[in-house]
Amino acid sequence: MRVVVTGAAGFIGSHVVDALSGAGHEVLAVDAPSRSPTPQVARRTWAEVAVRPGVVVAEVDLAVDELDVVAAADVVVHLAGRPGVRDSWGPGRAIAERDNVTATRRLLAACADRPAGCRPKVVVASSSSVYGSAGRRPNREDDPLNPASPYAVSKVEVERLAGLAADAGLRTVLLRYFSVYGPRQRPDMAFHRFAEAALDGRPLPVFGDGRSSRSFTHVRDVVAATLAAAAEELPPGIAINVGHGEHVAVREAITMLTGALGVQAEIHRETPVAGDATRTWADMRRAQRLLGWTPAIGLRDGLEDQISWHRALRTMQEVRVG
């Protein structure tokens, strides 16, 4: 299969490229690392994926550049964008609009412009944030959407665009990812910040009281669902939750994380983030039925995996400095 992966220098995208390369597919890995909130991290990841077998990289800003990169693709896995609820307020709103909405609109148009029979299937990253906070049961894909931040609003618009493209004949599928974690997790995300603080011996910066809960989902499980969505015949425009079926409170996750690190850490409580869900909770039945997917990695094991990565990164950095 020839696959274009956008956002390939990012957290999830880089793992998708690794998996596709490992399975022997041809991959065109697309990104514009300068659009990442942490360009130096994106450049480091970019260098890692660029040397994988069967991978060619192309630096393309999806919001402004020519998009002929989609020309030879059987599938486009579209993960590029500006993630994150917190930074989407204020000036972040225009960035989310540009890198989520404009970029997706242009990418879908470029795919739709291909001659009939040569149009790639497009797997598009959405987010659990489109639901707002979950209630007493897990969120199902046909629940009403209740976006509470500019980021979530941008993802609702991304979904609308993918739906319109499907109506016009493009095979699109929307994956609503739930709090992804694991090696290479973005520096702004909770477990990354907690692990780095704990390893430095600093208090852990926690937004709010730690009672909010998430369907934390390990990136290897997310990759498995994403590859299944690329391979399976699916109803065009369908949305599928990609999230662990259990939701865990942040403070419980902190206990697991500090336990795995073998440290006792203080908590530094920070003001809760406007628009952050108090609970995310994925109903997994559609993913099980259509993708044959159930997450395989529990939070305790998954956190150990992420911690090993933080330790390895530190060792590498020490070697470089030394």
Ligand X SMILES: NC(=O)c1ccc[n+]([C@@H]2O[C@H](COP(=O)([O-])OP(=O)(O)OC[C@H]3O[C@@H](n4cnc5c(N)ncnc54)[C@H](O)[C@@H]3O)[C@@H](O)[C@H]2O)c1
Interface pick for ligand X out of 3, 12, 17, 287 (rule CB under 6 A): 12
Distance between CA atoms of residues 18 and 155, nearest Å: 25
Out of 73, 80, 227, 261, which residue is the one contacting ligand X (CB under 6 A)? Answer: 80
Plot region of 184 (φ>0 → left; ψ -120 to 50 → alpha; else → beta): left
Chain positions 243 to 282 lying near ligand X, rule: CB under 6 A, are none
By beta-carbon proximity to ligand X, the closer residue of 35 and 279 is 35
Q: Check residue 81 for interaction with ligand X (CB under 6 A).
A: yes
Check 131, 151, 177, 181 and give the catalytic one.
Answer: 151
Looking at residue 163, its amino acid is: G
Amino acid residing at 117: G
Backbone angles phi, psi at 159, to 5 degrees: -65, -40
Rounded Cα–Cα distance for residues 192 and 11 (Å) = 12
Query: Applying CB under 6 A, which of residues 5, 17, 180, 224 lies at the interface with ligand X?
Result: 180
What is the smallest separation between the CB atom of 96 and ligand X, expressed in angstroms?
A: 9
Of 17-25, 56-64, 109-117, 138-146, the window that binds ligand X (rule: CB under 6 A) is 56-64
Nearest residue to 77 via CA among 109, 122, 38, 135:
122
Q: Give whole-number Cα distances, 206 to 86, 114, 189, 192, in Å.
A: 13, 47, 11, 12
Q: Which is nearer to ligand X, 13 or 245 (CB)?
A: 13
C-alpha span between 7 and 93 (Å, rounded): 19
Q: Would you say 184 and 15 are in contact if contact means Cβ atoms under 8 Å apart?
A: yes
Site for ligand X contains 62 (CB under 6 A): yes
CB 7 within 8 A of CB 79: yes
Q: Which helix (H) or strand (E) element contains residue 151?
A: helix 150-167
Choose one: 59-67, 233-241, 258-266, 307-315; the region binding ligand X (CB under 6 A): 59-67
If one asks whether residue 125 binds ligand X (CB under 6 A), the answer comes out as yes
Q: Which two tokens stand for residue 295?
A: 């997450």
For ligand X, give the closer residue by CB, 68 or 266: 68
Tell me if residue 151 is catalytic: yes
Nearest approach in angstroms of CB 83 to ligand X is 4
- The residues in 127-146 that bind ligand X, with binding defined as CB under 6 A, are 127
CB of 39 to ligand X, least distance (A): 7
Q: Which of 4, 17, 19, 42 binds ligand X (CB under 6 A)?
A: 42
Stretch that binds ligand X, among 55-63, 252-260, 289-297, 302-310 (CB under 6 A): 55-63
What DSSP character marks residue 247?
A: -
Query: Is residue 108 near ligand X by the rule CB under 6 A?
Result: no
* Structure tokens that stand for 260 in this block: 């795995």
Candidates 34-42, 233-241, 260-268, 314-322: pick the segment binding ligand X (CB under 6 A).
34-42
Q: Rule CB under 6 A: say whether 69 interacts with ligand X.
A: no
Torsion of CA 268, 269, 272, 278, to 10 degrees: 100
- Contact indicator for 104, 174 with CB cutoff of 8 Å: no
Q: Could you list the residues that contact ligand X (CB under 6 A)?
A: 7, 9-13, 31-33, 35-36, 42, 61-63, 79-83, 99, 103, 125, 127, 177, 179-180, 186
Instruction: Report the catalytic residues.
Output: 151
